[in-house]
Amino acid sequence: MNVLVTGGAGYIGSHAALRLLETGHAVTIVDDLSRGRRAAVDRLEPLGDLAFVETDIGARERVAGVFRDRRIDLVMHFGALAYVGESVEQPLRYYRSNAAGTLAVLEAMEDAGVTRIVFSSTCATYGAPSSEDIPITEDCPPQPINPYGRSKLMAERMVTDLADRKRAGGGDFAATILRYFNVTGCDPAGRLGEDHRPETHLVPICLEAALGGRPNVSIFGTDYATPDGTCIRDYVHVDDLIDAHLASMEALAPGDVRTYNVGTGRGHSVREVVDACRRVTGVDFDVTEAPRRPGDPPVLYADPSRIGRDLGWTARRTDLDTTIADAWRWKREHPNGYE
């Protein structure tokens, strides 16, 4: 299949592109490199039929040309901004990238007559579910509490509204919306990794501290109503997440929109993650307690049973230490990321 991967130079998009190439698909990456890494694309280039186009997804003529020239069959739309804290600081930037960006993708698909999409969404669409909604099923009412979650929910609605319209018109539009939990780890073979600028995610920050690149790790909030007072998240290995994309792609059914949680079904507190990072690295890096980070819900972990039932997907790498060990191996070999 000819797959357009938006955001394919980014952390998750590049891992998807890697797997698609390895399984014989032709991949076209569209990325404006605002967060993605050209060096990640360079690593993918020898692996198969890959084209890279550096552009904003909103450049309509250019993107139309890409759909035409590469005879795109299906879109995996990863391209987005994904930092909760930054979204609170710069909300319009998030609406532009995540909401308007998805609008541009859907318009480009419509222009090109492409009817299949796997869309990257997030558990941030749920907001701060009450304790009876934990673990979170897809039926939990989406009530996002930060601009990141709201911008992604808007994008979801665009996908589902378009799908409804197409279905009513007898069209064969097919979409799967994957709501990611906290994606962690990297390609177990070490070809790709996580290289965010700026880095805000807990696991890579701990690994940077273990390498001596930061004086300490701040724990954002120790007064949450959780057993150890810190936030609980569901850390899913990027390789498992990509399995979910491939399974979704293969199962896309004309006229159908599906929404799935992609998580392990287990929650770990910030303190547990810090301890796991200390264990895996063997470095007892310093930790300081800091105020809560705006926009952070206390507890988010998935009930992933729907995707298990429908697609047979389940997280295979559920041991946090193993997931962190993959990230650590890459980090140690690439202390400056792809540079």
Site for ligand UDP, rule CB under 6 A:
84, 182, 200-202, 205, 217-220, 231, 233, 270, 293, 296
Residue nearest to ligand UDP (CB): 231
**CB-nearer residue toward ligand UDP: 115 or 269:** 269
In the chain, the largest separation of any two C-alpha atoms, in whole Å, equals 60
**Exactly one of 148, 235, 260, 301 is catalytic; which is it?**
148
Cβ nearer to ligand UDP, comparing 28 with 125: 125
Which is nearer to ligand UDP, 201 or 279 (by Cβ)?
Answer: 201
**Per-residue H/E/C for 36-71:** CCHHHHHHHHHHCCEEEEECCCCCHHHHHHHHHHCC
Shortest gap between Cβ of 140 and ligand UDP (angstroms)? 16
Helices (H) and strands (E) in the chain, counts: 12, 13
Residue 301 annotated to the active site: no
Cα(206)–Cα(275) distance, integer angstroms: 10
Provide the minimum distance between the beta carbon of 275 and ligand UDP in the complex, in angstroms, as a whole number: 13
Smallest distance from the beta carbon of 131 to ligand UDP, in angstroms?
17
Between strands 232-233 and 182-184, the pairing is unpaired
Instruction: Name the DSSP letter for residue 196.
Output: -
Kindly report whether the peptide bond that precedes residue 135 is cis, defined as omega within 30 degrees of 0.
yes
C-alpha count within 13 angstroms, C-beta hemisphere, residue 202: 28
Local structure of 28: helix, strand or coil: strand
Least Å distance between CB 84 and ligand UDP? 4
φ, ψ dihedrals at 134, nearest 5°: -110, 130
- Is residue 202 classed as helix, strand or coil in its secondary structure? helix
* Integer Cα distance of 17 and 178 in angstroms: 17
Of 34, 36, 30, 25, residue with least CA distance to 2: 25
Of the pair 13, 115, the CB lying nearest ligand UDP is at: 13
- Residue with smaller CB distance to ligand UDP, 233 or 266: 233
CB of 305 to ligand UDP, least distance (A): 22
Cα gap 12→49, rounded to integer Å: 19
How many Å apart are CA 25 and CA 19, to the nearest integer? 9
CB 24 within 8 A of CB 96: no
Q: How far is the CB of 339 from ligand UDP (least distance, A)?
A: 22
Which among 205, 233, 229 is positioned nearest to 217, based on CA atoms?
205
Nearer to ligand UDP, 294 or 312 (CB): 294
Active-site positions? Answer: 148
